[in-house]
Each structure stands twice: as structure tokens, then as C-alpha cells.
A and B are shown apart, each in its own frame.
Chain A
Amino acid sequence: MRALLLLCCTTVFSFTPHNALSQNTRIKVDSDKIITVDEVFDLITQQTDYAFIYHEDLFNNFPKIQLKKGIIRIDKLLRENLIDNHFNIVVMENNNILIKEKSYNIIQQQVTGKVKNKDGLSLAGVTVFIKGTNKGTVTNFDGEYTISVPNPENVLVFTSLGYKTQEISVNDQSVVNVTMEEDVSELAEVIVTGYQKLEVNKSTSSVSNVDGATIERKGNSNVLQSLEGQVSGLAFIADPNNEGRKRFNIRGVSSIQGDSQPLIVVDGFPLVGDISTINPYEIESVTVLKDAAAASIYGARSANGVIVITTKKGKAGKTTVSYNTMTTITDKPDLRYRLNRVSSSDLVDIQLARVIDDPHTYEYFYNNNPDDPTLRLYSIPANRVYATLADLNEGRISEQEATTIVNNLRNIDNTQQLEDHFLRSSTEHQHNLSVSGGGDKHSYRTSLNYTKNKGMWVGDKSDRIILDILNSFKINDRLTLQLIGNTTLFQDSSTPLIDGSRNLVLGGISSYQNIVDAQGNPLPVNIGFAGNRLNYGGKNQFQIQQLMDKGLFDETFYPLNELGKRKIDNKSIALRIQTRLQAMITKSLSGNLDFQYELGGGKNSDFSSADSWNVLSTINNTAPEDYDGNPDDLRLPIGAHLVETRSNRNSYTLRGQLDFNDNFGDHEVSAIVGSEIRHIFTSSTTTDTYGYDGSSLVIKPVDKKELSQSISNVIHPAGEIRNGILFEDRFGETMDRFFSLYGNLTYGLLNKYILSGSIRVDQSNLFGTDPKYRYKPFWSTGIKWRLGEEDFFKNDLVSKFDISASYGINGNISNRFGPFNIATPHFYLGVDNLRITTPAVKDLRWERTATQNFRVDIGMLNSRVNLSAEYYIKETTDLLADRIADSTLGFPFLSANVADISNKGFDLSLNTTNIQSVNFSWSTFITFRHNKNNVTNAFNRQDQVRLLAGIRNLEGAPANTYWMFNWNGLDEFGNGTVIDSNGDIKVANADNLFDFLNPQDLIPAGTADPVYTGALTNTFRYNGFTLSFMFVGSGGHVLQKDSYNGEYLERRDEGFDSPFAASVNADAANAWQQPGDEEFTDIPSYGISDSSYYNAVIAGNSTKNIIEADFIRLREVILTYSLPTKFLNNVFDQMTINLRGNNLYQWVKNDEGIDPEAHGLGARFFKIEPSFSLGLNINF
């Protein structure tokens, strides 16, 4: 609100001026901008209580003011940078600021000149004004200016953002050329820890800030994704266990049992719900707390670092509306890359070679049981070569026909058909509308975000709505109240084919089985194992005919018809309500009372329709063997199958805190002390329903008691359903409570020497009863020396030189162990009972992470180069891990404080402004992290796991190391060989299988986590255009590639993850065939028996498949264009068009072209495809 009054000189001085602007009054500048003085006043008025009184025309000819993004003290802004020398400023008790022009004479003299920087480059946009006046101008694109000077005594003042202000006396010169020197920013950046706000200059700890504009510009619907490349020390690491998932960690892995994800804090409260409840357009800033000094204030969960998110707040002033929209399209995934399987022709050859010794009859498989009757039905249906030979042997076709059929199979490749019908480009639409405004007593901000996704799998979609409402009330001079509400509605649905992991599309249907004919009509295919143990996969056509003859259902499987019959839906609602009451008790002491309540509800349903293959096959299989067509005899009713989970969650946090901030001469003290309680409750109910009718809501009864025990006399090919049907009905509930006390003190002397300390004690309802653990605090301490502020140091090159060091302890204790026995309830054969699942471990200690941090912040060349470098040593000791224990004392495994992990490394961030002028600028931002991680003491190597190979945390290697067998090539029979711990060569064949089961033979083959990670962002601005490129890269880590390892190919389709007969890895084409091949191939011969499985495990988990995972990716290119104001016709304040491309280019070190950011453990994931976005932002 602009308070613009006509000046009345005579009455002004009748007010009692104290003429002191509070030093603590600061305003925030959103972004670098050049605005008029009037607008500066507006800005101050909006954010403070001050109003300005001055003559309407007073600043009409005054040069525009350059403001740099950040926080600035208004006394400084007004007095030093603006108008102090030319105007009288009077601050009156009612917070009105009176501005009055000083008088001067006017004698004109023309002065021209050129302004350059130290490198001789012309500087455009430098403000030139006559000292003591409001008169001035701005240099043009060539750095030239012209100004009329009233008299020779006048002094010209040259100011430009990022440069030191210069004053030059005109004297009689008509040409005044100036070389500007760069300056570090005077604007104080603040960090928000969630508990308090501190100026970066006063913080001794390791933090990184990312502003909301950067996050908004990136346009990711998930806030965390936008932090990539912005924060040194924070790495995003592809998770080989979860496709599409990234683990992100700050400064490496420091946990064995838990995850290493940082704690996320939103507006001061730890987030219990999902990060997706945060509207990415409503972020004010994100602060990442990396060391113990910063994070220990969060106590028990902070050892992995803390990400503090601050959302935007309402601002007093005119109502502003902002609208954003963005559409993102991601390329269709590459199924051929993902499947990486042999050609149909090779598959036919492989299958022909493998069935040579068999009698080739259906009967052979139906009646002859390879040691477990439940495997009886495998693979005849999927292996069409075998089926054709069986047809031939059983006399249904001629040899001629058989040859034709088999040869036809060679020419079919269904990959494209599968890709066309099941996959697509994914799209995301985002809309965001926010309104803010308010007056003296009340300000508000409301935003609505809608995000709609169509996933890459046909049928997958999700919607999200986030509504944020924020109201801030100034009750009186001392009391302010904030009410914040967040509501998130989320739903997604997917239509997997039979099973959730889409295994049928991902290799479960052999490449030679088309899913549509030439006319596009759905075709049936033969499948192997699919679904669950109740339906045991595809039956052959004779079995299906038998079923139908009995009056049961047709199980012929048409993939396209099946699509959509199974549907998984998730719906959730999350509410978050915060109230924050702040009271200024004295000038320097304030009290805060904060309360947050979170409520979440969800419904997850897994629905298979009555005519889905899943349901029909299950009903068929559970039918009595002598079924005669009477539906009453069916054990499961006809109808849909629905498993539905409803869950809810509520939590609250109540916090009281006292803040103290004051100066005593050269001493500055800021302190907080507080206490909080937290309560988290979750519950869920799952129901499992057969015979469900969605329209009438009728549920037919099912005898769950009978069916949950072994069922004999069934049609199921195994002859029985062992252990019955696993009904998923269950209840779940958890309740955790926490109580904490904390304090934090920062002391500054002369603004050069800063000392800080923090302490926190956590307790919970599960942390045990022993006071020894209960009152053990986390603490930290830090010091900082602002060397750059010392008189002896001050120089023109380096304007800022801060050195800081910190040390602190964070920790964690599992709330699932303690110095007490924990038992779990069971109900078994009619009797309630308890079993001790976790014994009392009496010497259990906190997991302890001690972090040392050393940091240097250097600003050079007028802040055009900012470097921040940190070195840290993070020692985590007493980590809880399972260790082998003496079973004589009761338990063969115990969780105990046995493991240590150390992380050492450095984080670098470098920000340079390479070119800076009014119309054009080029800046570069680099983040880099190097993390050396080592498990120094862990888990007994003599693990009970027979086959230990895989990603493990074992002593003597970094965390998440691939522990692999040491590959030594093939022997003359095509068997894989490895070198054992004694240096002996061991052959991986069935006969000496058990010689391999020694954990000592495994060697560390590299870690899955990158040793170094970096990002390089270049940003160019030209007038309204901004173009930025961000490259990210990681290196020093490895991945386990997919390959053919000698798996058994003959009969089974045992799980689609294994390249059995239905789909065989492309490497099989290079498999060993005859003696001599071992000279040039590493691919073992085709597996010939069940036990080949073990050979394949050994070859697969050997160094043969370990390759380097280094990569560089052009993560994003963003081009934005802000329309010039003149085009906006005053309708809009601002309009920005945003074009974005993600993942446009990548370089990978490995020769196979495997995408290291999308690879599993010996299996391919869909590689990351490029995506393109178009967005628009309008403010009015």
C-alpha cells in the first residue's frame, strides 16, 4: 500500500522525530532488479510498517536503483545507497518517514565519459549521478554516459551492482572515464534452520541455500529433484534395487540398517507425509544443513543431514496473482533396449538345441515331475519350439508342418507390437495459481496446484491437487499469528498385466509370439509362470480344453484383452495445519508457540475383474478335481477379486521456543531454547474379497478358514494348494511419541569472530527405560573467523574470506531395539501367544556420528567469483547391525552396535559472473562432491547367507560395494571359472557347486555409489532471455550389467527375471558352443540342468559383469523469455515463457551403452529418455 501524501513542510517538524531507523528492519529482494525510487519505497512499505511521505514529483528524474536479490537492511538502503546525501530523512513515531529535498544551485556543465571494468570491458547500466542531488543517468550498452553537472565542485558517483561505488570530482573535466572495481555483495544472505533464521555470515556451520526462483524455473513437480546440481554434497544416486527410484544422500552413506536419506523439514516441522505434498511453485527457499553444527538441532534423525524447505508467505501490498502452467512430454521408453534379448531366430536355435534329448511330448511334462510337483506345468506353453515338436511326436502335425511352424517363429519379433500397445510417451501437465496480498494487520497467500500425469505404461495416470492457504495476522504490536493450511489430494492408477511388475511385457512373452495379427486383432499367447502360486501360469491348449469340458473357464490368454482388467488405484488425502504464534516479549526476546497437525488418509485397491485371467485361473485352479459344472461346488465364488487397504495417519507437533537476539556494543548474541513434543500415529486395515461385484456391492461369502489351510482335491496342476490361499486381511497400527529439549547459542564479536553451540536431548516412548540412554544429548560447536573483515587483510581482490570449523555429534537409536525384550503377538491354532522377536540387549548404545567440518568462503573481484570449499570427516560408530551371536545364549543373530562407517570428502561450490552488463550476463555455477566412504568395522564376514554375492556393507570396502566372485574366464567345457581366496581356480559346474559357497571368495568389485559427483550450470541472460545448461556427472562407481550367465534354458520359465526359455539375454548369442570358444567369449555354455541355476548365480555375480558406471548427462537446458513490459500493456506485470529440455544428451563410459542411471542388479531398466517442456508464467 502506497502512502503518498503531499508534503507540508511547515508541519513536519511538529512531529517528534527520533530519526532512527531500526537496524533490524530488513526487506527481502526476490530477484536482481532495476527499479525506480518510488518502487523501492513501495517495496519497503509492503514488507515493513514504514510509510513514506514525500513530494509526488521528488524522484521523477532520479536514476533507477539496482537491487540485488537478498535481504537488505532498510536503513542501509535508504541512507547509504539511495538518498542520504541529497535528502533529509525524518522518521516519525508513527513509522512514517518524511523525505525532504536539500536545496542546491543549478549551473550546468556537460560531462561525458566511458565506464569500463578492470579487464577493459565496457560496462552498461552503471548509474552515474551527481553527489548530493537526485540527478543522474545510466551508461549505455557501450558504457558511455552524458550528464549535465551544475558546478565544477560537483562529485560524480558511479554505482553498479557488483562493483564498488566510486566518487570522482568533476573539476573542469569534460570527460570523466572510470574503471569500476568489483565488490562483494553487501546484501546479507540468510539461512533458515527451521528453528531460527541466521545470517550466513554469522553461521559457523555447513549449509547451502537454493532459492525458490531456481526451483520454480526448473519446473519439476517434485521439489527434491530440483535440488540436483544446486547443492554441493547432495548426490542423487540411481537405486539398482528400485527402477525409477533415486536415493539421495548428503555426504555419503552413514547407516547400515536404516536409509541414508536426509530429514526433510517444511516450515520448521519435520515432514511426516510425502514430499509430493509440497507445491514446487510455492518454495521461498531450501536450505540444506550438512554438518553436525547445523543439523544437530534436529536431534535423533539428523545424522544424514537436513533439508529445510521454507514456503512463500503472504506480503502486504496490492493483490498479486501469479499463474504458471507447464507441459512436459517424455519420449516413449525403449523396450528393445530394456529387453536386450536374443533374436527370435537365435531363440529358436537355442530351444531346438536344448530339447534334443527330451521325448517332446506334453505328457512328458505333465506326468513327470522334476522333483517338485508344483513345477509340472512350466514352459511347454511358452516354449513354442518344444510344443511344436510335441505336436509332431504326438501325431497332430506332420514333419513338414512342424518345420514350417518353427521357421515361421524365426521371423516374428513382437518387441515393436509390445511397445506400441503397452507403452507410450508420458506427459505431465502442471497448473499453479497463487494469490497474495494484504494490509497492515493481515496478509495472505493462497495457491492451488494441479498436476496431471500420464505414465509411460498405457493406463497409468495420476492426479494431484495441492491447496495452500496462509494467513498472517498482526494482532497488535507484539503478537503475530500465522495460520497455514495445506491440503493434498492424490490419486493414481495403473493397469498392470496380471502382475504388478509387468513381467509379461518385460520378457514373459517370447519374442516369437505376436500379440496382434495383421489386422490388429488381439492374438492369444502362451505364457509360462505368471501371477501368483494360485494360478501358476499358462496352461497348454489341451489342459484348457479339459477345463472347459468340465464347465470351467477358458484360460486362453490374450494380452491385449487383458489390459485394464486388473487395476491398482491409490487415493490419498493429506492435511497439514500449522499455527504459529509469535510474541515480542521485549525488544530482544520473543516467544514462539508453534503447533502442527497432520492428517492423512489413503485407500489402495487392487482390483481384478470377474473376467480377468487372474480371477478365472484362480477359480479354475481351486475348483474340486471332480467338478461337474455346478458353480455351487466352486471354492471361490464367481466375481471380481478386490484387495483394499485403507489407512490413516495423524501426527502433531507442539513447540514452545524463546528467541533472544541483541547487541551489546561489539558483542552480538543470538540464542534459542525450546521444547517440543511429537506424536505420530498410523493405522491401516486390509480386506481381501473374492466374489466382489462393484456395482451391486455384493460380496459372496468365502470360507477363509478352510481356504487358508492346505487345499487338496483341486484342479490346480500341483494337485494341491499347499498352505492354502494367502488372504491379505490385516490390521496395522503404530504409535510413536517423542519429547525433545534443545538450545542454540551464537555469539559474535566485532562481526569477525563467531562462536556457536547447540544441544538437544530426545526421548521417545520406545527408547528404553535406562536413563543412560535417555538423557544423552546431541551437541555441536563451531567457530568462524571472518578474515576478510580484518583491517590487515582488506584488499581489492578478495572481499570476503571466511574460515569456519565445526564439530558435533548426531546420533540415532533404533526404536525397534532396546534394553528390553520385544515380543510380537501371534495367533496359532486357536491360541494367542507371544514370541520374543528381539531380545533385550543390555549394552545397546546410540549410533553416533561425529562430524568435523572445515569451510572456507571466498568472495573475489567484487563478488563476481564466489567459492565455497569444505572438507569433512564424518565418523559413524556403533552402528546397529545384525551380527552373528552365540545361539547358546538364546539368539543366533543380534542387533548390536558393531559397525563403523567413515566418510571423508570435500564439497565445492563455485559461482562466477563471467560477464555482467545491463543487457547481457553470463554466469557459471559449479558444484562438486568427492566422497570417500569406508566400512571400517562391520558384520562378521562369515555370513549365514550361502550366496553372499551382491551389494553389501562389509568391512574393508566402501558401503554399497559389489562383493563379487573373481572371474577367471571359461574353461574348455564352457563352464565359468573363478579364482578363490587361496588363488586357486574353481570351476562353476554342478559337480563342485558347493566349493563356491565360501564368503571369503568374494572380492570387492567397486561401489554402487559414485565417488565423485558434479554439476556445471551456465546461465546466459540477454535482455529478457535467459538460457541455462546444466550438465551433471558422476564417476568412480560401477554397475552390474545384464548378461547371459549360463542359466538353465531347457524347460522352465521360472520367474521372468531370469532369462529362461521365454526370453534369453542377447549375450547368449555369443555363448560358448565348442572347445576353443573360451578363447574369445566370456559367456558360459547353455545351462543344461537345474543346477545350472547355481552356476549362473556364480558367473552372474562375478567380476565378469562389473563395468564402470561413469557418466555425464546434459540434465537440463532451460530457455526463458520475459516479455518486455511495454508489450504487456499494463495488463500483466510480467509474462515469462519457459522452454525446457531434460536429459538431451549423455555420455557413458561403458562400451555396452548401458545407462548407469537406470540399471538394476544384473538387469536393465528403461533408460532415461529425453523430455521437453513448455511453460508460461503470468503475474498480474
Chain B
Amino acid sequence: MKIKSTLTVLLAALLSMLNTSCDDYLDVDPKGLTVLETIQDYDLLLNGTWRSMFYTTDTDILELTSDNHTSTELDLRPIDDPLNDAAKAYKFDSDIFLSHDENVRLWDAAYGNIYTYNTVINNVGSSKIVSGYSEEDKESIIAEARVGRAFEYWLLVNTFGKQYNEATTSTDLGVPLILEDNVSGSVPARSTVKEIYDFIISENLEALPNLPNRPKNYTREYTGSAYAYLARYYLFMSNFEKAFEFADKAIDVKGEISDFTTVPVTTSDYFALEDHHFSDQYTFMSSQGTPNWFYRYGILSEEMTNLLSSSDTRFSLLYSDCAWQYDDQTGWNYNCGLPPTRIGATLGSVTITPTVPEMYLTRAECNARLSSGTIGEVINDLNSVRENRIYDYTPLSVADFTSKAEALAFVLDERRRETLYMGTRFFDLRRLNLEPEFAKTIVHELDGTTYTLAPNSDNWAFPIPASTLNFNPHLEQNPRE
């Protein structure tokens, strides 16, 4: 029958249409989320990798272990709480990160970013090219990701491994080196500190030829930031020639320093000027919102206060002598005339990537340490920083220093002043502990007890967190005192 055969054909056609066009039919991208496919997806991932430190209040842990701040039991209460890592850090407790299974952001955030970098490095090669991109862009995206990943490893090795020390570095344990993007994979044994440093350095050097000369936007890597990272890495390896070389190159690429003395003086205005604040960084490295600790619990240590003059903008803009204080009789009161504490402004910045002033100070330090350097060169770099930081600045002159050693000590103090709100003091302390003349025992008092952290203490390297060891019992733990 005619109708019968027509219908059969119709239905058969429909069924086969459904089958053959199925792949096309299903090949539409879901909205509101992105399955990584194109080179642009990977490119945008790099805009989203902020360095691990910025999204964590655990940066407090590093600051609290340093000599910049003084806290009281009220600031850190309840001080006996096993979950209170801030108190444990301040007391240099050996079981920090070990007494509970809570995640440790210092570890998680870094490895979280490493996952993203690994994803980019391993997969961008097979991504689809879309308009505005070419095949060559893949190399540059990989280069940027390698630089970013290396920095995460630098943070990890300087938090959980021993300070790089030429004598022991090939046996000191660093952190596991993970280059795969596989959340179901396995974690290798800890690499040595030397292996991690070798990796970091070679990653940067190999990436350099493919890096752009200008950053894509202020969150991105380029030759300037790679030089600055290298300068810092070499400095922390005590390789001052190389540190000098790359600091010099970084300054060549970007050498301007913002003049804080011309910034409006009220704190809120200062923080509102984001550009001023960011312009000194090689990459965008700042977070919205101050970690709580800084303004709630942090009181500048007496030693640090003495290093800052009242005409120093880094003091006057960021610190106040007023604070909320608790009193058993009257409760909370706003009191002034106290030791200076960081102002609780709404925009804070924990800047842990290299800055332009840091490069000048790195070059100054290298000049002070290297036989090739002169006091004059040291002073030039110091003045370049200080004239932008101190009201009515009188430049330093050669006559101010009797020796290069004296100049070096001044550079280190200047470095401490300049990085005050940047979260790197802990790393510098570790580095300087290798040199007897700068090695320092940190002393904290809390609730009537004195806690000390000696320069040779094992506690300068944080333990591998319990939450990590639960999954990876094969990882060797750091010795703790």
C-alpha cells in the first residue's frame, strides 16, 4: 500500500537522521561553564591563577613566625585551641598542621595553582586555535605557565623545605614535584631542595625565549617578571652574581617606582589608588581584603617600630597607634597611644611576588656583597627607593657608610622596611640565618611564657600537613623540635 511504504520510509529516515546527526546534535557547548577546549580557554586560565598566597589567611602563619609583629593572648585567643594555627605559629609549636586534619592553605593553594598550570602546560598544545590566536601563542602560554608554576614551587620549598644551603641542599628535602594534571594520580617522594631549585631555575631560563616582552595584562608574566623571579631565586641561593645580573635586567625592563610621598595622606585615599599601589609590581599580586590578622591582632613589634621613622610613608600610611582593646571591666574600647598596629583598611595587599623596589634592593645587596660592587652603587639603589618613600628625603651619601658591611646591614634593614607588608620577611629570616652576623633568634612572649626560635632550629621548615600525610604516608616528615 502506498501510505504504508511512505510511512515506513519516513520513519526509517527519521530514525536514521536521529542516529547519524547525533554527534553534531550533542556537540554544543553548555552555557555558564566552560569545558576547556580552545587556546583562549587556557589563556584565560592564566588570568585566573593568582599566586597561592593571596587567597589565604595562612599568610598570617608566616608573618606570625617572623619578628615583625607582637601579639597578646587576647589577640590570639583561644591560645590552646588545637585548631588555632595562628597561636601555634606564634609559639613556634612543633605540631602546627599536625594536631588536626584541617586543610592547610599554604599547601593546598599552591598545589591547587600547580594543577592549573600543569593543565595548561600539558594540554594547550592540543587545543583549538580560535580567532585572535595563532599556533605560536601556545609556546608563549606554556612559557608563562612554567614561570608561574616555578614560583609556586619556590613558595612551597621555602615554607616546607629547609633554606637552600649549598652544603646540604642535595640531601635536604623539599616538596613533591608534580607535573601531571591528574587528581587521581600518585604523589612522588619529596624532591630535594636542590632538585626543586634546579627545576625552578631551568623552567625560567627555558621559558624566557618564548615570553612576551610586555605582559598581556597586569596579572600576566613576561620577560620582566621572569628576570625578577630569577633575581630573587638566585639571591636565595646566595648566588649574588646571578642575582645581580637578573635584578639589573629586571630594572632595565621596568624600573619606575611610585612616589608615595606625593600620594594623598589619608589611608583610605591611599588604598583607593589601586594603580599607585600595583604599579611597583612586576605582576599583579594583590588581594582585595586584608587578612583579618593584620588589623585585628597585629601590633607592630617594638624592634620593627624602631626601624621606621615618623617621616617614612611606609609607617605613616599603614600604621596607627589606635586600636580596639578588650578590658575585663569595660569590655571593648578604642584606645590610642598604643604601639603601632596596621590600619584596618578595606583594601590590603599581601604582596609576595617581586617588586621593583625589591630589585633595586637586591642589586644593592649584591653590590654590597660582591667584590665588584661599590658603596656608591649601593647608595644609588638605596636612594632610588628611599626618595620615593620618605618625606623631605635627604639622599644618602658615601660618607654615611664606613664599610661595605655597614652598607649591607643598611640594605637589609631597608629591605625589611620596604617588604613590611609584603609577607616575605619570614623567607628573608631563613636566608639570613645562614650568615652568623645576621642570624637571629626570634623571641615571642605569650601569656607569660617565652617562646624562642633559634637560627638553627628545625622549626624554620613547617611540617608536611597531617591532611597530606593521611593520603601520602610515604612522604618523609620534617624533623620538628
Binding site for B on A (CB under 8 A): 364, 367-371, 476, 478-479, 583, 585-586, 591, 593, 654, 656, 658, 675-677, 710, 712, 720, 722-723, 732-737, 739, 741, 763-766, 815-816, 818, 820-826, 828-837, 839-843, 884-892, 894, 942, 944, 946, 993-994, 997
A889 B183 Cβ-Cβ under 8 A: yes
28 A-B residue pairings within 8 Å (CB atoms): A364-B331, A368-B332, A478-B4, A585-B8, A656-B11, A656-B14, A675-B15, A722-B346, A737-B26, A737-B28, A739-B26, A765-B28, A822-B34, A822-B35, A824-B33, A829-B274, A836-B36, A841-B183, A886-B472, A887-B103, A888-B107, A889-B182, A890-B112, A891-B115, A891-B183, A892-B112, A994-B81, A994-B83
Task: Say yes or no: is B167 at the interface (Cβ < 8 Å to chain A).
Answer: no
Number of interface residues of B (CB under 8 A): 73
CA–CA, A829 and B284, complex, Å: 10
CA–CA, A410 and B217, complex, Å: 66
B27 A886 Cβ-Cβ under 8 A: no
Chain B, 271-284, contact with A by CB distance < 8 Å: what is the 0/1 string?
00010000000001
With contacts A832-B47, A833-B47, A891-B112 known, is A763 near B184, CB below 8 A? no
CA–CA, A367 and B330, complex, Å: 11
A residues in contact with B112, CB < 8 Å: 887, 890-892
A710 B183 Cβ-Cβ under 8 A: no
Cβ-closest chain A residue relative to B327: A368
- Among B22, B78, B114, B468, the residue within 8 A (CB) of A994 is B78
With contacts A586-B4, A656-B15, A732-B32 known, is A887 near B107, CB below 8 A? yes
B4 A842 Cβ-Cβ under 8 A: no
A residues in contact with B44, CB < 8 Å: 823, 825, 832-834
With contacts A478-B4, A826-B48, A994-B81 known, is A836 near B119, CB below 8 A? yes
B residues in contact with A890, CB < 8 Å: 111-112, 114-116, 118, 181, 183
A residues in contact with B31, CB < 8 Å: 733-735
A994 B30 Cβ-Cβ under 8 A: no
Cβ-closest chain B residue relative to A737: B26
Task: Say yes or no: is B185 at the interface (Cβ < 8 Å to chain A).
Answer: yes
CA–CA, A828 and B467, complex, Å: 31
B residues in contact with A997, CB < 8 Å: 83
Most A CB contacts (10 A, CB to CB) among B183, B219, B333 go to B183
B182 A842 Cβ-Cβ under 8 A: yes
Cβ-closest chain A residue relative to B40: A834
- Among B47, B187, B332, B333, the residue within 8 A (CB) of A834 is B47
B residues in contact with A840, CB < 8 Å: 181-183
Chain B, 68-82, contact with A by CB distance < 8 Å: what is the 0/1 string?
000000000010011
CA–CA, A842 and B48, complex, Å: 24
CA–CA, A826 and B116, complex, Å: 16
Cβ-closest chain A residue relative to B219: A831
B83 A944 Cβ-Cβ under 8 A: no
B25 A737 Cβ-Cβ under 8 A: yes
A residues in contact with B185, CB < 8 Å: 889
A residues in contact with B82, CB < 8 Å: 994
A764 B26 Cβ-Cβ under 8 A: yes
A831 B32 Cβ-Cβ under 8 A: no
Chain B, 323-365, contact with A by CB distance < 8 Å: what is the 0/1 string?
0101000111110000000000011000000000000000000
Smallest CB separation, A142 vs chain B (Å): 60
CA–CA, A367 and B335, complex, Å: 12
Within 8 A of A (CB), among B256-290: 268, 274, 284, 288-289
CA–CA, A421 and B399, complex, Å: 86
Task: Say yes or no: is B41 at the interface (Cβ < 8 Å to chain A).
Answer: yes
Cβ-closest chain B residue relative to A946: B83
With contacts A591-B11, A887-B467 known, is A833 near B25, CB below 8 A? no
B residues in contact with A828, CB < 8 Å: 48
Chain B, 88-112, contact with A by CB distance < 8 Å: what is the 0/1 string?
0000000000000111000110011
A733 B187 Cβ-Cβ under 8 A: no
B residues in contact with A479, CB < 8 Å: 3, 7
Shortest Cβ-Cβ A-B pairs, 6 listed: A890-B115, A833-B48, A833-B47, A886-B471, A733-B31, A710-B346
Binding site for A on B (CB under 8 A): 3-4, 7-8, 10-11, 14-15, 18-19, 22, 25-36, 41, 44-45, 47-48, 78, 81-83, 101-103, 107-108, 111-112, 114-116, 118-119, 176, 178, 181-185, 187, 217-219, 268, 274, 284, 288-289, 324, 326, 330-334, 346-347, 467-468, 471-472
With contacts A585-B4, A887-B467, A944-B103 known, is A370 near B183, CB below 8 A? no
Smallest CB separation, A737 vs chain B (Å): 6
A residues in contact with B45, CB < 8 Å: 823, 833-836
CA–CA, A712 and B268, complex, Å: 8
B18 A675 Cβ-Cβ under 8 A: yes
With contacts A763-B26, A834-B34, A889-B183 known, is A370 near B108, CB below 8 A? no
A369 B471 Cβ-Cβ under 8 A: no
CA–CA, A942 and B470, complex, Å: 11
Smallest CB separation, B455 vs chain A (Å): 30
B residues in contact with A892, CB < 8 Å: 103, 108, 112, 467
15 further A-B contacts with Cβ under 8 Å, apart from A654-B18, A823-B33, A834-B48, are A479-B3, A586-B4, A675-B19, A676-B18, A677-B18, A737-B25, A739-B22, A820-B36, A821-B36, A823-B44, A836-B36, A840-B183, A888-B111, A892-B108, A892-B467
Most B CB contacts (10 A, CB to CB) among A479, A585, A586, A723 go to A585
Most A CB contacts (10 A, CB to CB) among B34, B119, B219 go to B34
A476 B333 Cβ-Cβ under 8 A: no
B18 A765 Cβ-Cβ under 8 A: no
A residues in contact with B26, CB < 8 Å: 737, 739, 763-765
- Among A371, A712, A765, A823, the residue within 8 A (CB) of B36 is A823
Cβ-closest chain A residue relative to B274: A829
- Among B18, B107, B181, B333, the residue within 8 A (CB) of A739 is B18
With contacts A842-B182, A887-B103, A994-B81 known, is A821 near B18, CB below 8 A? no
CA–CA, A824 and B45, complex, Å: 10
With contacts A734-B31, A842-B184 known, is A836 near B115, CB below 8 A? yes
Most B CB contacts (10 A, CB to CB) among A593, A677, A831, A997 go to A831
Smallest CB separation, A629 vs chain B (Å): 24
Smallest CB separation, A514 vs chain B (Å): 33
B residues in contact with A841, CB < 8 Å: 183-184
A residues in contact with B15, CB < 8 Å: 656, 675
CA–CA, A737 and B346, complex, Å: 45
- Among A675, A720, A822, A885, the residue within 8 A (CB) of B33 is A822
A residues in contact with B102, CB < 8 Å: 944
CA–CA, A487 and B387, complex, Å: 75
CA–CA, A833 and B113, complex, Å: 14
B187 A886 Cβ-Cβ under 8 A: yes
A735 B36 Cβ-Cβ under 8 A: no
B residues in contact with A591, CB < 8 Å: 7-8, 10-11
CA–CA, A735 and B32, complex, Å: 9
Smallest CB separation, B22 vs chain A (Å): 5
A residues in contact with B29, CB < 8 Å: 765
Smallest CB separation, B104 vs chain A (Å): 8
Smallest CB separation, A724 vs chain B (Å): 9
CA–CA, A586 and B8, complex, Å: 10
Most A CB contacts (10 A, CB to CB) among B30, B187, B468 go to B30
- Among A712, A722, A888, A994, the residue within 8 A (CB) of B176 is A888
Smallest CB separation, B474 vs chain A (Å): 12
B residues in contact with A823, CB < 8 Å: 33-36, 41, 44-45, 48
B residues in contact with A832, CB < 8 Å: 44, 47
Cβ-closest chain B residue relative to A838: B33
Smallest CB separation, A648 vs chain B (Å): 13
Smallest CB separation, A242 vs chain B (Å): 25
Cβ-closest chain A residue relative to B218: A831
Smallest CB separation, A1091 vs chain B (Å): 9
CA–CA, A734 and B288, complex, Å: 30
Smallest CB separation, A820 vs chain B (Å): 5
CA–CA, A629 and B175, complex, Å: 62
